[in-house]
């Protein structure tokens, strides 16, 4: 953290299905960023918007070559951290699990249920164990900015909602979709975990704009989700997504104090391994994301 706890934000944007670039950036440059966990999904696009430093990452890579289960989530988040990112806005296509959240609607997520089973979920490992809080997994400070700007732009949006993260790549069975509805979930997608928990481990504030593209497969009056329907609705959503991004970057980019929700201090009381029991090789790697507490 910079001196006197004044943060000069760098805004990270993770673009999901159908969002592989970002318009309007000045001083644009695609650059490769290597991390101790390997390469991220693609080069990162560095630039400025109204003077605010931004870094864009196409989550699945340009052209969408990487499926959700094969994304190197650790490299993606580490690359953003290494690039100085303090605040991430995740943009994701999702299926709706509620009648009142139709295609075209945006949900500013506040909870996750993580049903993924194959993914590496932590930067920490044998030789340095950490347990961060995920009680409130998304940054409410960024959520406030997203909510205010969807209202100002007249975008149909809901503040709060649970995103069910499934492994994929196949879409859900109807029985699964109905089960998640009984759990009270709002939307379903395949990517935001462990992305959000790794961002928290890296002490980066993270919020999700879930853009509804379909009614999954439970709605009797709507067709079952297909890739075509997702991409068509994302194209229809894209003007709203672009307008929202352009509005929130300047709002999030102002100099500020530490995050009022404490996301940027998530590791403060999280590491349990005694200094003498730590693995020096792992500590060296971890410094890329946890240098604040482990010594840069």
Directed axis angle between helix 140-153 and helix 227-252, to 10°?
100
- Residue 190 lies near ligand LNRAV4D5 (rule: CB under 6 A): yes
- Residue 93 lies near ligand LNRAV4D5 (rule: CB under 6 A): yes
Alpha-carbon torsion (67, 177, 225, 109), positive or negative: negative
Which among ligand LNRAV4D5, ligand ADE, none contacts residue 95 (Cβ within 5 to 8 A by kind)?
A: ligand ADE
Q: How far is CA 15 from CA 191, 242, 243, in A?
A: 11, 11, 14
Let me know if 136 is a catalytic residue: no
Let me know if 214 is a catalytic residue: yes
Distance CA 62, CA 14 (A): 12
Which among ligand LNRAV4D5, ligand ADE, none contacts residue 214 (Cβ within 5 to 8 A by kind)?
A: ligand ADE
* Residue with the CB atom nearest ligand LNRAV4D5 in the bound state: 16
Which among ligand LNRAV4D5, ligand ADE, none contacts residue 216 (Cβ within 5 to 8 A by kind)?
A: ligand ADE
Q: Are 15 and 64 in contact (CB under 8 A)?
A: no
Phi-psi region of 160 (alpha: psi -120 to 50; beta: other; left: phi over 0): left
Among 9, 40, 137, 189, binds ligand LNRAV4D5 (CB under 6 A): 189
Nearest Cα to 145, choosing from 34, 260, 17, 66?
A: 260
Here's the x/- map for ligand LNRAV4D5, 34-63, by CB under 6 A: it reads as -------------------------xx---
Q: Where are the alpha helices (DSSP H) in 137-226?
A: 140-153, 174-182, 192-201
Q: What are the binding residues for phosphate?
A: 17, 59-60, 92-93, 191
Residues in touch with ligand LNRAV4D5 (CB under 6 A)? 16-17, 59-60, 68, 92-93, 189-191, 227, 230
């Amino acid at each position: 953290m910079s001196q006197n706890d004044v943060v000069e934000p760098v805004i990270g944007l993770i673009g999901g299905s159908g969002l592989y670039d970002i318009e309007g950036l000045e001083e644009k440059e695609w650059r490769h960023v290597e991390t101790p966990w390997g390469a991220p999904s693609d080069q990162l696009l560095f630039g400025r918007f109204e003077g605010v430093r931004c870094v864009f990452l196409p989550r699945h890579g340009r052209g969408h070559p990487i499926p959700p289960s094969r994304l190197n989530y650790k490299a993606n988040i580490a690359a953003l951290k290494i690039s100085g990112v303090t605040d991430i806005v995740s943009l994701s296509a999702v299926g709706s699990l509620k009648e009142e959240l139709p295609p075209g609607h945006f949900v500013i997520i506040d909870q996750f249920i993580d049903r993924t089973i194959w993914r590496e979920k932590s930067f920490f490992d044998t030789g340095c164990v950490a347990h961060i809080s995920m009680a409130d997994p998304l940054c409410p400070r960024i959520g406030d900015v997203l909510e205010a700007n969807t209202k100002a732009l007249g975008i149909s949006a809901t503040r709060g909602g649970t995103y069910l993260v499934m492994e994929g790549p196949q879409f859900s069975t109807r029985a699964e979709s109905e089960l998640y509805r009984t759990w009270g979930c709002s939307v379903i997608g395949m990517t935001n975990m462990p992305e959000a928990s790794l961002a928290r481990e890296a002490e980066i504030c993270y919020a999700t704009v879930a853009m509804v593209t379909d009614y999954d497969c439970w709605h009797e009056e709507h067709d079952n989700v297909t890739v075509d329907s997702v991409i068509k609705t994302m194209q229809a959503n894209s003007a709203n997504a672009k307008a929202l991004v352009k509005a929130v970057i300047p709002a999030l980019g102002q100099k500020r104090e530490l995050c009022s929700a404490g996301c940027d201090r998530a590791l403060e009381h999280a590491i349990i391994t005694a200094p003498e029991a730590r693995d020096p090789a792992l500590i060296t790697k971890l410094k890329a994301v946890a240098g604040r507490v482990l010594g840069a």
